[in-house]
Amino acid sequence: MRGPFDNTFDATRSRPSRDEENTFECDLSDLCECCVMETYPFRCCYQERRVTGIECDLARCSFHKYCPASKGKKYIHELINNLSCEFSSKSQKGLAFQEVASSLPSAYIPEVRPVGREKDEAIRVVKELDIPIIAVSLSKFYRGLTETSSLRRALRAGLHKFMRFEGKILLSTDVQDPLCDKFTNNPRYFKRIAENLTPDYITTLDTYSYYNIPACISRIKMLQILVADYDLVDLTMKVIGLVVGGGVRQVLQCALQLQRMGCGVICYPVYEMRRYHDTYSIRARTEVLKTTGAPVALLSCTPGTRKNERVYANYYSSLSWFSMIGKHTKVNFSRKEKLSKLIKLAQECSKQATWPEVS
């Protein structure tokens, strides 16, 4: 779910008064289950523009195909009903992933870019610290929607040989919005790519279901990837359930459905929330995901080096250990030291994360 966040509003703005909240009546209440207004401080883009009178720039919006403002409520109702019927039809068959992960071998999984000198240096550091697993984002093998020469080489050689890494590899599907649609609309193509790369672990399909869009749109996107996920149940690598959704309850619904499909570990991408320093929302979603009883992995996320940004999950994965070493960093602070400290911090935070029993 990496990409431009055209519908972003300032998460740090002051909370509207109780009177303001009660006087606003949204005309999407019959469409939007799990409205994002339930989770302060967010008001969805549709509501925001209704209140402020600002016109939508539908030509630039990623969600115009699903927005009641452009398509009308009747069309959205029919779309949700059709997707719900398709999803119900597939879920009733009781299909489940053949191979699933029950745990991961490291509390912190360093992401490695699979291109150029960065790949070689990152792999060298990982090997020196004897880290048993790395993460590779599938998005790094594409330029927009076009396959790169690196992907073609990796498909021929296999991901382990291409990365020159003998340990475990997690292939992440946390990708840019256009790639999300490419994989969702053609799961057989995605499956072919995954089977030829042969990673040890892979996350289920991702989509752009940002947490400040109308809940009816994020529900559409969630149903689309869950329907597509059923075409991937016979993947031969261990599957990790990637959770999507807007509001907290929607995130929980997606996680529970992935568990019904057999997923023993669930992950949640928090790139946009980290980008806007929205620790509140990360914590809220992490805590609700813990109630499923499954280990939770946060993608594009460290535990948080500052205590006011600390989040407690079972696993973390990010590229920041490598990319944040630059001209503003002390010369004597190496990537190896950065990664070593992150691993220790992740181990400590993982131990403090509690997993409540589920009856």
Average pLDDT, the chain: 87
**Burial (CB count within 10 angstroms: exposed 0-12, middle 13-18, buried 19+), residue 310:** middle
pLDDT band at 332 (very low <50, low <70, confident <90, very high): very low
271/261: higher pLDDT: 261
Tokens of 29: 């209440």
- What domain count does the chain have? 1
Question: Per-residue pLDDT tens for 28-71?
Answer: 888 888 786 655 455 688 887 777 777 887 778 888 889 888 88
Tokens of 69: 């403002």
Determine the average pLDDT of the residues in 316-344: 78
Q: How much of the chain, in percent, has pLDDT values that exceed 90?
A: 64
Residue 75 above 60 pLDDT? yes
Q: Report the CATH number at residue 5.
A: 3.20.20.70
Q: Which of 113-122, 183-192, 193-202, 260-269 has the lowest average pLDDT?
A: 113-122
pTM for the structure as a whole: 0.88
**If we measure between CA atoms, which residue out of 145, 177, 171 comes closest to residue 158?**
171
CA distance 338 to 334: 6
Task: Show contacts of 275-280: CB within 8 Å, 24+ apart.
Answer: 275/5, 276/8, 276/11, 277/11, 277/12, 277/309, 278/11, 279/304, 279/308, 279/309, 279/310, 279/311, 280/11, 280/41
Domain region containing 230 = 1-359
Tokens of 282: 């990360």
pLDDT at 13: 40
Is the distance from CB of 160 to CB of 198 less than 8 angstroms? Answer: yes
pLDDT at 324: 61
pLDDT at 186: 96
Is the distance from CB of 214 to CB of 67 less than 8 angstroms? Answer: yes
Cα–Cα distance list, 259 to 75, 80, 122, 235, 242 (Å) = 31, 22, 33, 16, 11
Residue 359 above 70 pLDDT? no
Within 8 A by CB and 6+ apart from 133, the residues are: 104, 105, 106, 109, 167, 168, 169, 170, 200, 201
pLDDT at 24: 59
Determine the average pLDDT of the residues in 147-170: 97
Determine the average pLDDT of the residues in 183-206: 97
Within 8 A by CB and 6+ apart from 222, the residues are: 207, 209, 244, 245, 250, 253, 254
Q: How much of the chain, in percent, has pLDDT values that exceed 70?
A: 87
Question: Per-residue pLDDT tens for 117-132?
Answer: 889 999 999 999 999 9
Q: Which of 39-48, 131-140, 178-187, 238-247 has the lowest average pLDDT?
A: 39-48
Please count the CA atoms within 13 angstroms of the CA of 192 that sit on its side-chain side.
8
Residue 3 above 80 pLDDT? no
14/246: higher pLDDT: 246
